Amino acid sequence: MPCSIELKNVSQSFGNIDSTITLFENLDLSINQGQSYAITGPSGAGKSSLLMLLSGLEKPTSGEGNFINDNQLLTLDNLRAEIGFIFQQFHLLPELTALHNIALPLKLRGDKKAIKKAEHWLEKVGLSDRAHHKPAQLSGGEQQRVAIARALVFSPKFIFADEPTGNLDQHNANEISDILFSCCQENNAGLVIVTHSNVLASKAQNIYSLANGELTKTSPISITDQQSEKHTAQHLTKNLSTNEKQVPSC
């Protein structure tokens, strides 16, 4: 049975006696396993902070966060073993090869088939021929493929991605987002993406905007916006090399 995460009446503030920033107050949000979500909004609105609350890695100033699994209401601390993260900066371990970066979450769980499963995931993200390369020997797009495989290799129920294509040119961004969405769908993982990209956000089944402390569900971004964003990105990246591999079907 699919599980879910819910935030109820949640507020988040940072600061001390002298100054306090309140990002949002009394916010409600539910995330279901198997569905995809995008959170957009201006810089500093609190998107990454909201992702931290959803994942249970940070606690709200007030309000409630629940993980509902098999009709049981649990605290978000119980999510730890069920989540994978993907970051803009990839955050791979530099001294490990692509294969060993992917195998690491399984090894930490004591899985004896860690390497076999990691090889399978390298193939899924189209990088079998880069198994023994270290992150510094991989392109940005290739590093993000490794990060996606590492996040999904232990079949987590939810994936949280903070600007997963923010460091990539438009060509690679499209490939990586296609891999990310198809891998999450195939693994029935809930996917929550924080992004400034309307093109990326429009691929999610549920799109939210966080601005001025308000979280609003929005309709898919209009084609006109996407075309103008694509045009700008193409203009900015037309001289960049695009010699990445074809998108594998996950």
Ligand X SMILES: Nc1ncnc2c1ncn2[C@@H]1O[C@H](COP(=O)(O)OP(=O)(O)OP(=O)(O)O)[C@@H](O)[C@H]1O
Q: Contact between 45 and ligand X (CB under 6 A)?
A: yes
Residue 212 vs 243, nearer CB to ligand X: 212
Residues 6+ apart with CB under 8 A from 185: 34, 36
Choice between 85 and 121, CB closer to ligand X: 85
Binding-site member from 46, 56, 63, 135 for ligand X (CB under 6 A) = 46
Please select the residue that binds ligand X; options are 20, 21, 95, 231, rule is CB under 6 A. 21
Q: Does 164 bind ligand X (CB under 6 A)?
A: no
Question: Closest distance between ligand X and the C-beta of residue 6, in Å?
Answer: 20
Q: Which of 2, 9, 14, 91 is in the footprint of ligand X by CB under 6 A?
A: 14
Query: Pairing between strand 206-211 and 62-69?
Result: unpaired
CB of 132 to ligand X, least distance (A): 34
Q: Minimum distance from CB of 14 to ligand X (Å)?
A: 3
For residues 223 and 67, the answer to whether their CB atoms sit within 8 Å is no
The DSSP element (H or E) to which 189 belongs, if any, is none
Query: Of residues 49-108, which lie at the interface with ligand X (CB under 6 A)?
Result: 49
By CB under 6 A, tell whether 206 contacts ligand X: no
In the range 24-43, which residues lie near ligand X by CB under 6 A? 41, 43
Among 11, 30, 32, 48, binds ligand X (CB under 6 A): 48
Residues 6+ apart with CB under 8 A from 238: none
CA angle at residue 159 from 153 to 165, to 5 degrees? Answer: 100
Between 53 and 152, CB nearer to ligand X: 53
Distance CA 244, CA 138 (A): 11
The binding site for ligand X (CB under 6 A) comprises: 14, 21, 23, 41, 43-49
